[in-house]
Amino acid sequence: MADRKTVSDIETASKEKNDAQTKQSVVDEQQGVVSGQTVTPDGPIMNIQVGENEKRVQPIQLGERLKELRLSQNLTLEEASQRTGLARSTLSKIENEQISPTFQALQKLAAGLGLDIPQIFAPPEEGPEANGRRDITRDGAGKPHPTTTYEHELLAVDISRKKMMPFKCTVRARRFEDFDGWVRHEGEEFLLVLTGAIAVYTEFYEPVTLKEGDSMYYDARMGHCLVSVSDTDAQVLWVTAP
């Protein structure tokens, strides 16, 4: 019964603040920047590589790239000609940068080589070779990163350009009101409760309690925040994939 009252109080607070909070959260996200390192309100985003990737897809030489693609499929100009419906001489001239193909020709090329057009501009696949990257973080030896609501311990900080960013987090927040508003960011997040218990507030669901061993996966663009509801501050593992 007492639990019921508590939950209903939390729900009311959640609804009243939805609009104002969403506006403020943009400012709060800016404050997360620490010494040149972008930080999501939950934890850090280390090395957002999107901009760099986009820069890198610009090909230096279209002809060179197309020749590469043709040869990687072990095709002669004649075979490629039959597949693409473009004349051999045209393919030769394109590959040797003698002409600039029309978009229509590019479409034919892509279709004939079994590609989508953006793939023509993609960098070569990294290759099947293992690159051997590894980073071990001992218990308690992660990089500290405190905020007002969470006490983060960043893991695997020596590896840059990771697909995932893991961190342990001690949830100091005790009330939804400890947050200035919904926190949100790009990507998806997974969280596992390591010790204690938390109440999870998310923008489109009623709050839910998770205890040790429980986990949750969610789209991080949805407003979200955690509150400790156990005697001792809960500890969770958080993994972000931006």
Partner DNA sequence: AATTTGTATTTCCTATAAGAAACTTTTTAT
Partner DNA sequence: ATAAAAAGTTTCTTATAGGAAATACAAATT
In terms of CB distance, is 80 or 155 closer to DNA? 80
Rounded to a whole number of angstroms, the minimum distance from the CB of residue 172 to its own copies is 19
If we measure between CA atoms, which residue out of 136, 181, 173 comes closest to residue 152? 173
- In whole angstroms, how close is the CB of 175 to its own copies at the nearest point? 22
Q: Is 7 in the site for its own copies (CB under 8 A)?
A: no
Interaction between residue 23 and its own copies (CB under 8 A): no
Cα 163 to Cα 43, 50, 196, distances in angstroms: 15, 12, 28
- Report how many residues bind its own copies under the rule CB under 8 A: 65
H helix intervals, 158-209: none
We find the least distance from the C-beta atom of residue 110 to its own copies, in angstroms, to be 9
Beta bridge partners of 219: 188
Pattern 79-118, its own copies, x by CB under 8 A: ---------------------xxxxxxx---------xxx
Nearer to its own copies, 61 or 148 (CB): 61
Nearest-angstrom CA–CA distance, 62 and 169: 47
124 DSSP 8-state letter: P
- Closest Cα to residue 179, out of 207, 212, 142? 207
- Residue 130 dihedral angles phi and psi, to the nearest 5°: -65, 140
The whole-angstrom separation of Cα 234 and Cα 52 is: 37
CA pair distance 145, 166, nearest whole angstrom:
13
Residue with smaller CB distance to DNA, 66 or 210: 66
List of residues contacting DNA (CB under 7 A): 76-78, 85-90, 92-96, 98-102, 104-105
Smallest gap, in angstroms, from Cβ of residue 94 to DNA? 6
Looking at the DSSP bridge assignments, the partners of residue 146 are: 151
Amino acid at 54: E
Residue 22's binding partner among DNA, its own copies, none (Cβ under 5 to 8 angstroms by kind) is none
Residue 91 CB neighbours (<10 A): 25
Cβ contact 157:143 at 8 Å: yes
Q: Which of 36, 124, 132, 144 binds its own copies (CB under 8 A)?
A: 132
At its nearest, how many Å lie between DNA and the CB of residue 84?
A: 8
State in angstroms the smallest separation of the CB of 149 from its own copies: 20
Residues lying near its own copies in the complex (CB under 8 A) are found at 54-55, 57-58, 62, 100-106, 116-119, 121-122, 128-140, 155-156, 159, 162-164, 166, 184, 187-188, 190, 192, 194, 202-205, 208, 210-219, 221-223, 237, 239, 241
